[in-house]
Amino acid sequence: MISVCNVSKSFGSIKALDNISFTISRNEIVGFLGPNGAGKTTLMRLLTGTFPPSKGSILIEDKNLTQSKQIRKKIGYLAEHNPLYREMTAHDFLNYVAALKGVPWLKRKKAVLKVAEQCSVASVFNRIIGKLSKGYQQRIGLAQALLGEPEVLILDEPTNGLDPQQIIEMRKLVRELGQNKTIILSSHILHEVEQTCGRVLILNHSRLAAVLELKDEINLEEIFIDIVTKEPEPCPK
Amino acid sequence: MSKIIAISLRDLRSWMNNFSFYLLAAFFLGMTGYFFWSGLSYFSLVSFQVATNPATQFKNLNLTEGVFSLFMANMTVLLLLLIPILTMKSFTEEKKFGTLELLFSFPLSDLQIVFGKFFGLLAVVSILILPTVSYFFLAQVVGAKFEFATLLSGYLGLILISASFISFGMFMSSLTEHQVISAGIGFAVLLFFWIIGWVADWTNPQLGAIFRELSLVLHFEDMTRGILDTKDIAYFVFFTAFFLFASLATLEIRTWKR
């Protein structure tokens, strides 16, 4: 479904990602783990087509992401810090996103209602987003990502700022969605990744440090600490 | 096209739901109302003097030159002040709140984003300008009949010059994350394009010709007299297209491979 081949990304002299390769199968839930500055958000932005890689390619269903805007229809994105138009009502915002994602006018009302029910935001439909709780705002962010029925969901720290109850609900929702969607989520929280994902990619110092299948016998915490406490390998000259 | 309309409508609604828009509109309509009334009153006084004393120096006294052109020039100065305020948040706010990243993740082209924002702002400015048309109907009550074709050409010029201001303001907004810087520099540069024609007459002829061609006000003047010249229309169209393209290029920088 997704194939990332030798991808590097630099911002001026700063190398944010260095020669990363992996593949993700359909209906898989994959977690990106890594300390701050490891390159998780940059990798997610590359996967949503926000900007192209400096080197390498990203293929979604064998089509190059940077060469076709239409592939973005297959992607739903919940960005870090959940950007929303805070002065809009939840209903207007979701309608707006549906229009931008190319949902036909006649099907828009139904599509908006569907995602609102899926994310339990129908009760706050006519309220101003900026006045809603963080939990509702996060759900609206997820609802906009679900609009247009994307096959791939990219969630950048989806439980960021939520209370424990909301975190549990969000994880449950992600697992449910993972039954018929490919999900990529990033997190700082090991426990969250362990509970939600089938596979984890650990990023450290802009490189892909490990790819782990999450099985019972794996001690993720131990492996993670072992990786992030290692000094970075010097770049080959 | 539907995506451009969606972005335009969102921006338009955002301004319509913003109290500061109504403050700006009240200021604009108050000032333009005053300019129109004072212009018409002065014209009426001068006309009376001419009628009672035929020896006066006023020749070719007409409503177009005496009231309409002057009113349009004053209204444009007001728009020069107000449009940078309207455009300052077009991209800066999207960048500040991260919603531009959201737009980039949708199946949208950068051109659709730029056009959507441009037409949204053009609609906001048109809503601001539209009520001033009523002044000319009200003037008919006191017997001041303006030529319809002149009104049409003047308002077309006003929309074209507003489009130029908007495209430049949007470009400034795409360059920075600070609204005040966007509005401040936008106003300063537009003012430069406004006053550059003033020096055209007392500088050397070659330089003067260039200044004259660059001047926003000199291209606008004829339109307020009912003269539609393709050269003037082309100037505003190119000015607008150039700065819309500049905004587009600013957005596209992120897609360059580095």
Q: The domain that contains A170 carries what CATH number?
A: 3.40.50.300
Residue A227 lies in a domain: no
Provide the 8-state DSSP code for B1. Answer: -
Q: Are B192 and B184 a contacting pair, CB within 8 Å? A: no
pLDDT in tens, A143-199: 999 998 898 999 988 887 778 888 888 888 888 888 888 999 988 788 888 888 888
Residue A61 lies in a domain: yes
The C-alpha of B17 sits at a distance from chain A's nearest C-alpha, in angstroms, of 9
Which residues 196-255 on chain B approach chain A with CB closer than 8 angstroms?
254-255
pLDDT above 80: residue B144: no
Q: Is the pTM of this model over 0.90?
A: no
Residue A34 lies in a domain: yes
**Are A83 and B106 inside 8 Å of each other by CB?**
no
d(C-alpha B5, C-alpha B15), whole Å: 15
Nearest-Cα residue of chain B relative to residue A68: B107
- Angle formed at CA A80 by CA A76 and CA A86, multiple of 5 degrees: 85
Position A36 scores a pLDDT of 82
Q: Is A11 on the interface with B (CB under 8 A)?
A: yes
Pick from A12, A54, A77: which is nearest to B105 by CB? A77
Residue A88 lies in a domain: yes
pLDDT in tens, B167-192: 999 999 998 888 888 888 888 888 88
User: Regarding beta strands A14-24 and A2-11, do their DSSP bridges make them parallel or antiparallel, or are they unpaired?
Assistant: antiparallel
Position B115 scores a pLDDT of 96
Instruction: Indicate the domain borders of chain B.
Output: 19-101+128-252
Domains of chain A: total:
1
What integer is the mean pLDDT of A88-99?
A: 93
Residue A213 lies in a domain: no
User: Regarding beta strands A63-64 and A55-60, do their DSSP bridges make them parallel or antiparallel, or are they unpaired?
Assistant: antiparallel
d(C-alpha B171, C-alpha B83), whole Å: 13
Question: Which chain A residues touch B2 with a CB distance below 8 Å?
Answer: 99, 105
Interface test with B, best of A15, A77, A100 (most B CBs within 10 A): A100
Residue A129 lies in a domain: yes
Show the domain range for A78.
2-39+47-189
Q: Is A183 on the interface with B (CB under 8 A)?
A: no
**Are B6 and A99 inside 8 Å of each other by CB?**
yes
Pick from A51, A77, A99: which is nearest to B255 by CB? A51
Which residues 63-92 on chain A approach chain B with CB closer than 8 angstroms?
66, 69-70, 72-73, 75, 77, 79, 81, 83-88, 92
DSSP-derived 3-state class of residue B57: coil
Strands in A63-64's sheet, in edge-to-edge order, are A14-24, A2-11, A55-60, A63-64
CA nearest to A34, candidates A174, A229, A218, A231: A229
Question: Which chain B residues touch A85 with a CB distance below 8 Å?
Answer: 10, 14, 97, 99
Q: How many CA atoms lie within 13 A of B76 on its CB side?
A: 31
Residue A161 lies in a domain: yes
Residue A219 lies in a domain: no
